Amino acid sequence: MDDASQTEIVLHIGAALRQARHVVVLTGAGISAESGLPTFRNAQTGLWAQYRPEELATPDAFRRNPRLVWEWSMQLADLAARSQPNPAHYALVELEQRVPKFTLITQNVDGLHQRAGSNAVIELHGSSTRVRCFDEGLIVDGWAKTADVPPRCPYCGGLLRPDVVWFGELLAPEKLDAAQAAADACDLLLSIGTSGEVEPAASLPYRALRRGATLAVVNLDVTTRASGSISTIHGLAGQVLPALVRAAWPDPIM
Ligand code: NAD
């Protein structure tokens, strides 16, 4: 962020934000890293080093060993519940208040955007704050405290699972449709803290780009398919996002 060309990009995207009519933001695990939540591909410690999510977060893994998958999922859900939104999440709350139309699409399941105050978040991959029946899909608010792990659905007796999209599962069609429609219609898309390896979310920025939108990527690493038409800002989301919002609107909302 000290680099002069980076400052120039921040000013350029700040000006584009100020003029935009419809801004779409796509977030990934990187935006929550500064809240203390491990990303999929950077984490070297704890559960993330012990297990490969791609092998554990699947319907087959749950059928093979529901107890292991439930306990692993609940540890991550607890970690998310105990963490706090960071300045990047709050900058997006301000952005939503500043632009005429705003769509926030997240791949995260931690609920931090909502806890920061963002409205109408499209949770492409569900949320670890909810639980549903593995057999029937019904969202369940509570269950009998028995020795069963995972607990049982109070309606049908099936096993309960987190309301997240596992590898090999389809996204909810209405969420994907809404995300794709927003990407097609926006004039600026900001992609933040995602490695761009998980489809169909990974294609959303390029849909926007193809329709003539400005595409800006905020990431610690270089991850995008290189292209002169993409503005890349390297840095911590918790520093870059507030800087972008201040570049667009120097006076904070009172
Ligand atoms: P990912 O782990 O594949 O990629 C994270 C990206 O964020 C990396 O490119 C990394 O360079 C970047 N990054 C790390 N720290 C950053 C920071 N402080 N500022 C800016 N960038 C930073 O995550 P993904 O692309 O979201 O995709 C993988 C899947 O992981 C998603 O489906 C998501 O559901 C799941 N996931 C969610 C959470 C969460 O809800 N917090 C956590 C881990 C994984």
pLDDT for the residue numbered 49: 66
Tokens of 128: 């670890």
Distance from the CA of 193 to the center of ligand 1, in angstroms? 6
Instruction: Mark whether 12 is an active-site residue.
Output: no
pLDDT along the chain (254 residues), means of 10: 80 97 97 92 60 82 94 93 98 98 98 96 96 96 89 95 95 98 98 93 96 96 67 95 97 82
Query: Rounded to two decimals, what is the model's pTM?
Result: 0.94
pLDDT for the residue numbered 3: 76
Tokens of 183: 């990407």
Q: Of all protein residues, whose CA lies closest to atom 28 belonging to ligand 1?
A: 40
> CB–CB of 128/110 below 8 Å?
yes
CB atoms within 10 A of CB 97: 12
Task: Specify the pairing of strand 22-27 against strand 126-133.
Answer: unpaired
pLDDT for the residue numbered 221: 84
> CB–CB of 105/26 below 8 Å?
yes
pLDDT for the residue numbered 144: 83
Question: If one looks up domain 4-248 in CATH, what number appears?
Answer: 3.40.50.1220
Q: In the structure, which protein residues have their CB atom closer than 6 angstroms to any atom of ligand 1?
A: 28-30, 32-34, 37, 39-42, 107-110, 125, 193-195, 197-198, 218-221, 223, 236-237
Phi, psi of 131, rounded to the nearest 5 degrees: -130, 145
pLDDT for the residue numbered 13: 96
Probe target for ligand 1 pocket from 26, 39, 198, with the most ligand atoms within 8 Å of CB:
39
Q: Of all protein residues, whose CA lies closest to atom 43 belonging to ligand 1?
A: 39
pLDDT for the residue numbered 229: 85
What three-state secondary structure class fits 239?
helix
Distance from the CA of 143 to the center of ligand 1, in angstroms? 31
Find, among 98, 124, 36, the residue nearest to 242 by Cα: 98
pLDDT for the residue numbered 44: 58
Cis bond upstream, residue 200 (ω within 30): yes
Q: What residues does each domain of the chain span?
A: 4-248
pLDDT for the residue numbered 223: 58
pLDDT for the residue numbered 142: 86
